[in-house]
Amino acid sequence: MAGPRPAGLTGRPAPEEHLPYFARYIEQVDGDRLLDALRPRPLAEFLRGADPALAASAYAPGKWTLAAVGQHVIDTERIFSTRALRIARGDTTPLPGFEQDGFAASAPDRPLAALADELDAVRAATLALFASVPDDALLRIGTASGGPLSTRAAGWIIAGHERHHARIVRERYLTAPES
């Protein structure tokens, strides 16, 4: 029999739970329930329905292709989920940042539909992780990228990061992309 959800799944992270930089992602998300925030998959939905020819498109010279944006969101979600797991389990090791441009440069070219499928799979794993973390562990704060990060904040950042990139795709990739 399922009991009530832990209190940590309700409520947005406080500023002291993350570096100020990440507030821009958390602010992209409405509501106050983490699992509800993680359920929409706006970028995955777009990639699944997009013309496959858009995969190699960029909205400006030197910008990532649409496929690279999809891979970036996948990679970032995996990294933040790993951070959340480690912090939730009490690992006090300071967790390093990652070089997103290096990740993007070394990512393989993949079809948009395959990226959408992987985004869905990664998000299913993320949802399962956060649904299983006890309240006290959701509120636990570790160190990542040289600053504080709570387990809960990592989840909100994941949700907002995807929304951030989905907005960029709508605004910039859907208007005459350049190759």
Give the Cα separation of 83 and 158 in Å (integer).
11
Q: Domain of residue 151: give its range.
A: 19-173
The per-residue pLDDT for 8 is 53
The number of domains in the chain is 1
pLDDT at 174 over 80: no
The per-residue pLDDT for 5 is 46
- The pLDDT mean for the chain works out to 91
In a domain, 14, yes or no: no
Q: How far apart are the first and last CA of the chain?
A: 54
The per-residue pLDDT for 6 is 45
Prediction pTM value: 0.91
In a domain, 33, yes or no: yes
* Phi and psi at residue 18, to the nearest 5°: -160, 160
CATH classification of the domain holding 70: 1.20.120.450
Q: Per-residue confidence at 102, pLDDT binned at 50, 70, 90?
A: confident
